[in-house]
């Protein structure tokens, strides 16, 4: 489940979600730092913790390695480092860094972090030289030594074929983006996974696959209506981004994406949500009572675990935080 809200509420929110049955919590890099809530949660709950995702391109692999290593210790071996590339406007105009060959860059980021982990685990001197980053210095003062729980898993968020292939080639896990459909996963994602595994000389068992499902749930008609509105807003937000057009394209809704994009730039959120019809809701998300949502969100044998981006007034109303 998504651990959202303000950092000062993270510990209480984590307890709330675990009490409701969540066995794993993830953070989204939005208005607040993606790692801080997990530090707070690690001290109060026994649950798997993951960044979903930490934007990697503006960060150094060394920074990411140190933070991930410490969170692995704090969580007693239950942390996963989920990384993502973001899109070009955010990298260049929000983060103020360079954008170049994102799939190749992310592939190298994963390899660099793994090389740093290996050096800390006693695997010899740090000697990583790539196209985008170089790491060849690790004095004892800056070496934390072997992690008592082993290095954390590194997962890569991907949608398109190049990034999916890179994830399957070098990462420990693939985070399947929540704006997706069964058909897109079957026809586009799985072939890219197989290609990446072949490139890396790996087998299917070497890659964990974590599909993420947008879920809107409630028990009363009022809660279900509110959840449906939240799901439509989220689908409209994702659909307005050109990077997610392939999902709509596979389902025959490619023309909706540029419409959403134009409305997004105008700030016309209500008009955006009106473009998300019932078929889109059924195909791209799960909406219903908790029991029906659980049945419909089953990921199938090709995947390892399912994560929920929950839009549920019934869950959120039990805390003092407002829905995002």
**pLDDT per residue as tens digits for the range 153-198:** 999 999 999 999 999 999 999 999 989 999 999 999 999 999 999 9
Confidence grade of residue 1 (pLDDT, cut at 50, 70, 90): confident
- pLDDT, mean over the chain: 91
pTM across the whole model: 0.90
Report DSSP state, residue 185: I
**Which phi-psi region, left, alpha or beta, contains residue 122 (left: φ > 0; alpha: ψ -120 to 50)?**
left
**Taking 60 as the threshold, does the pLDDT of residue 261 lie above it?**
yes
C-alpha 244/C-alpha 118 separation (Å) is: 35
Give whole-number Cα distances, 40 to 11, 69, 156, 167, 234, in Å: 5, 16, 23, 29, 27
Domain spanning 7-216+300-310, CATH architecture: Alpha-Beta Barrel (3.20)
pLDDT value for 306: 54
**Taking 50 as the threshold, does the pLDDT of residue 6 lie above it?**
yes
**Taking 60 as the threshold, does the pLDDT of residue 318 lie above it?**
no
Give whole-number Cα distances, 230 to 33, 276, 309, in Å: 23, 11, 11
Confidence grade of residue 50 (pLDDT, cut at 50, 70, 90): very high
Confidence grade of residue 98 (pLDDT, cut at 50, 70, 90): very high
**Taking 60 as the threshold, does the pLDDT of residue 134 lie above it?**
yes
By the 10 Å C-beta count (0-12 exposed, 13-18 middle, 19+ buried), 34 is classed as buried
pLDDT value for 297: 63
Please name the residue that has the structure tokens 């090389």.
Answer: 115
Cβ-Cβ contacts under 8 Å for 267 (sequence gap 6 or more): none
Confidence grade of residue 311 (pLDDT, cut at 50, 70, 90): very low
* CB contact at 8 A, 14 and 47: yes
pLDDT value for 141: 97
C-alpha 276/C-alpha 263 separation (Å) is: 13
Q: Could you report the per-residue pLDDT of 292-302, keeping only the tens digit for each? A: 877 776 555 56
pLDDT value for 319: 39
* CB contact at 8 A, 38 and 82: no
Confidence grade of residue 323 (pLDDT, cut at 50, 70, 90): very low
User: How would you label 147-157 residue by residue, b for 16+ Cβ within 10 Å and e otherwise?
Assistant: beeebbbbbbb
Distance of CA 276 to the CA centre of its chain: 23
* CB contact at 8 A, 284 and 179: yes
Please name the residue that has the structure tokens 């008592």.
Answer: 148
C-alpha 134/C-alpha 233 separation (Å) is: 41
C-alpha 194/C-alpha 263 separation (Å) is: 37
**Taking 60 as the threshold, does the pLDDT of residue 321 lie above it?**
no
Task: Please tell me the number of Cα atoms within 13 Å of 173 on its side-chain side.
Answer: 26
* CB contact at 8 A, 136 and 115: no
Element spanning 120, H or E:
helix 102-120
**Taking 50 as the threshold, does the pLDDT of residue 244 lie above it?**
yes
Question: Could you tell me the two tokens for 211?
Answer: 């599909």
- The residue with greater pLDDT, 113 or 323, is 113
Angle between helices 161-170 and 190-199 (to 10 degrees): 40
Rg (CA), the chain: 20
Report DSSP state, residue 2: B
Measured from the Cβ of residue 226, the count of other Cβ atoms closer than 10 Å reads: 20
Over range 88-115, report the average pLDDT: 97
């Amino acid at each position: 489940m998504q651990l959202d809200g303000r950092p000062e509420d993270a510990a209480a929110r984590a307890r709330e979600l675990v009490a409701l049955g969540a066995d794993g919590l993830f953070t989204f890099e939005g208005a607040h730092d993606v790692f801080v809530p997990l530090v707070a949660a690690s001290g109060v709950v026994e649950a798997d913790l993951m960044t979903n995702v930490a934007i990697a391109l503006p960060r150094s692999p060394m920074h990411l390695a140190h933070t991930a290593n410490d969170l692995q210790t704090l969580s007693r071996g239950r942390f996963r480092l989920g990384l993502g590339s973001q899109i070009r406007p955010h990298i260049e105009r929000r983060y103020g860094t360079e954008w170049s060959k994102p799939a190749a860059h992310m592939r190298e980021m994963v390899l660099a972090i793994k090389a740093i982990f290996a050096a800390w685990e006693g695997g010899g001197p740090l000697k990583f030289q790539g196209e985008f980053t170089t790491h060849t210095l690790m004095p004892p003062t800056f070496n934390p030594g072997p992690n008592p729980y082993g290095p954390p898993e590194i997962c890569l968020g991907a949608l398109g074929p190049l990034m999916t292939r890179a994830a399957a080639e070098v990462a420990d896990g693939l985070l399947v983006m929540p704006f997706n459909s069964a058909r897109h996963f079957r026809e586009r994602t799985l072939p890219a996974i197989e290609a990446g595994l072949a490139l890396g000389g790996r087998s299917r068992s070497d890659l964990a696959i974590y599909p993420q499902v947008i879920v809107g749930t409630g028990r009363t008609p009022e809660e279900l209506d509110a959840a449906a509105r939240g799901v439509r807003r989220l689908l409209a937000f994702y659909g307005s981004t050109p990077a997610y057009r392939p999902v709509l394209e596979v389902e025959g809704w490619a023309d909706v994406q540029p419409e959403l994009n134009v409305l997004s730039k105008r700030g016309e959120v209500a008009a955006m949500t009106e473009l998300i019809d019932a078929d889109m809701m059924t195909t791209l998300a799960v909406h219903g009572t908790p029991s029906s949502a659980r049945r419909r969100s089953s990921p199938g044998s090709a995947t390892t675990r399912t994560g929920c981006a929950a839009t549920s007034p019934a869950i959120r109303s039990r805390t003092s935080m407002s829905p995002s």
